[in-house]
Amino acid sequence: MRDSDAAHFQIATGNLSLENIVPLTLMASGEAGIVIQVDGSADVVHRLAEMGLREQAFIRMVQPGCPCIIALNDQRLSLRTDDDVEILIALRDGQ
């Protein structure tokens, strides 16, 4: 699935299931989903938003680990998250 397919993947708030929501750190290679929450200090959340990692963003895990590599908006980001930030992802159906 290409990042441009994000338009075809929409989540209706009433249809979210907790079993489909995982922290970014637990995503496996190839899994994709929508960012539903970025929680942490205001500075960190703001910086991640500047890079495009914000609520409603479609991402795909390229390489899990620390740092992980995610696909976001036709680019690749290497992220090293710590205990001060939590990013929750609603996985795409079929993941």
Query: What integer best gives the mean pLDDT of the chain?
Result: 83
pLDDT surpasses 50 at 57: yes
In the chain, the percentage of residues whose pLDDT exceeds 90 is 66
pLDDT surpasses 90 at 29: yes
pLDDT at 94: 55
Question: What is the spatial distance between Cα 42 and Cα 58, in angstroms, rounded to a whole number?
Answer: 21
pLDDT at 45: 94
What six digits make up the tokens of 89? 């992802």
Q: Which domains does the chain have, with CATH numbers?
A: 20-91 (2.30.30.90)
pLDDT surpasses 90 at 22: yes
Higher pLDDT, 1 or 30: 30
pLDDT digits (tens, 9 = 90+) for 60-94: 999 999 899 999 989 999 998 877 899 999 998 75
What 8-state DSSP symbol labels residue 29? T
